Amino acid sequence: MAVSLSAMFLAPVWPLDFSRGDAQGRRMAEDETGEVPKLPPDARLESLDKRLDRLHQEEAKRDARKQNSSAGRLVVSQLVGGPMGGAIVGWVLDQWLDTAPWLLLGLMFTGFVGGFISVMRASARSTGSGPDGQG
């Protein structure tokens, strides 16, 4: 065998010839116009578009309701959880440092203030304005 193995594999494909076009024999420059072919209107496609639009609108309404309920949950959790967390930490520190009830009251008040500030920030974010009512 005088023919090398690499010459056997490269001979059929080298040099590459792209003059024949793609697999169907079409040449890109000759067949492509860049336009979308005009199709006749189909009643099924129009019906599908209308149903999809209606479903998108219903989904947007559901999302708005979910967002409102999640904002309510945030308000309740901040206004209840802040003072409660402060009271628990204050009670534990009062027991440990024997300063009852001062740390409990102080941290409970601090938790309430922190929860109120957090609610104000969340409401400003949802309305798109700052805490003082200006954008």
pLDDT tens, position by position, 10-41:
555 555 555 566 555 665 554 455 555 566 66
Considering the domain boundaries, does residue 1 fall inside one? no
Residue 130 lies in a domain: no
Inside any domain, residue 82: yes
Residue 5 lies in a domain: no
Radius of gyration of the chain (CA): 36
Domain contains 112: yes
Q: What angle do CA 99, 102, 116 make, to 5 degrees?
A: 145
Q: What is the pTM of this model?
A: 0.46
The count of structural domains within the chain is: 1
Query: Residue 95 is part of which domain span?
Result: 69-125
Cβ-proximal residues to 97 (8 Å cutoff; 6+ apart), any chain: 103
Domain presence at residue 57: no
Domain for residue 80, yes or no?
yes
